[in-house]
Amino acid sequence: MGEMSQAVQAQLLALNRTFYSTVARPFDRTRQGVQSGMVELVEQLPHESVPLRVLDAGCGNGRFAAVLAQQGHTAVYVGVDQAEQLLAMAAEQTATLAPIEARFVTANLGEADWSAVLAGEEPFDVVVCLATLHHFPGHALRRRILRELAGLLKHAGLLALSTWQFLDSARLASKLVDWSVIGLSPDDVEAGDALMPWKQGQYALRYVHQIDADEIQALATGLDLRIVDQFRADGKEGNLNLYTLFERK
C-alpha cells in the first residue's frame, strides 16, 4: 500500500457519490437519532455569540442543526453536501427549528474549489465535519479539505471532526468487502482504507478510511489548529466515533 493514484481516487469518489444517491432515503431513516457524541460536542460550543455562525461540512440530512436547537443554541447554520436528495430532506427537517436559521448549499468537498460556494460569507464561529472526512480517499486530499475548513473559521473559532473507528470493532471489521469486488487490490489503496457494505433495504458499497488519533495529528500539522478536546463515543460499543475539537490559533 502506497500513495493512491488519481485514477483510483476518482473511482472511489465516484463510488461514494453513487452510494449516497442510491441509498439516500434509507440512509436518512438511520440518521434520525441524536448521538451522544454530538451532544457532548455541542455542550462545548460557546453561547457568547448570538447567533452562533455554524458551517456543517458534509451535513447529510442536517441533524446537527437539530442538536444545536435541542441544546439551546441560536444559530445561523449553513449545511454543505454533495448529495442533493439528502439536502432536500435536511431543508424539510430543519424548516421548523425556530432558533436555527438554516440554509443549504450543494458542493463537493472533494473538489479543489468547493468553498467558492461560500464566497461572501463571514468567517464562522464553528465548523463541523462529522462522519464525513473518512469518506474521502487519499491522505493528501483529506489534508487539503481540513486546511480549507480551518480557513473558513474566525480567529479562535472551533473546528470539530468525528471519524469512524470501524477497524477497532470486530463486528464492523468482519463486514468489510474485498477490494477485488470493484476491480482493485490492496496495493491500489492506502493503509486504513476499506470497503463497507450497506444492506438496509438494498445493497451498496462505500469507501471508508480509519482516521485515528495519530492521523488526526498528522493532518492538522502546520494548519494553525490546536486540539482542545478529543473523545470517543457512539455506536453499539459506545466508542465507534473519535471526536476531535480544534481551536484556530
Question: Count of CB atoms within 10 A of residue 84's CB?
Answer: 13
Can you give the pTM of this predicted structure? Answer: 0.93
Q: For residues 54 and 27, which has the higher predicted lDDT (pLDDT)?
A: 54
Q: Binning pLDDT at 50, 70 and 90, where does residue 33 land?
A: low
For range 154-171, the mean pLDDT: 97
pLDDT of res. 223: 96
pLDDT of res. 38: 94
Q: How far apart are CA 100 and CA 54, in angstroms?
A: 10
pLDDT of res. 2: 64
Q: How far is the CA of 244 from the CAs of 26, 37, 69, 123, in angstroms? A: 28, 11, 21, 20
Given a cut of 80, whether residue 121 has pLDDT beyond it is yes
Residue 158 is assigned to a structural domain of this protein: yes
Q: Is the peptide bond before 51 cis (omega within 30 degrees of 0)?
A: yes
Q: How far apart are CA 221 and CA 243, in angstroms?
A: 17
162: domain CATH number is 3.40.50.150
Average pLDDT of the chain is 92
Of the segments 48-52, 110-114, 190-194, which one has the largest average pLDDT value?
A: 190-194
Residue 121 is assigned to a structural domain of this protein: yes
Residue 1 is assigned to a structural domain of this protein: no
Alpha helices in 43-162 (DSSP H): 63-70, 84-94, 139-151
Q: How many domains does the chain have?
A: 1
What single letter denotes the amino acid at residue 138? G
Domain that holds residue 178: 6-248
**3-state secondary structure at position 241:** strand
pLDDT digits (tens, 9 = 90+) for 12-28: 999 998 887 787 565 55
Tell me how many degrees the CA angle 53-130-110 measures, rounded to the nearest 5: 95
Q: DSSP letters along 34-61, please?
A: PPHHHHHHHTTS-SSSSSEEEEEET-TT
| pLDDT above 70: percentage of residues in the chain | 95
pLDDT digits (tens, 9 = 90+) for 171-222: 999 999 999 999 999 999 999 999 999 887 788 899 999 999 999 999 999 9
Of the candidates 112, 41, 49, 110, the residue with the CA atom closest to the CA atom of residue 70: 41
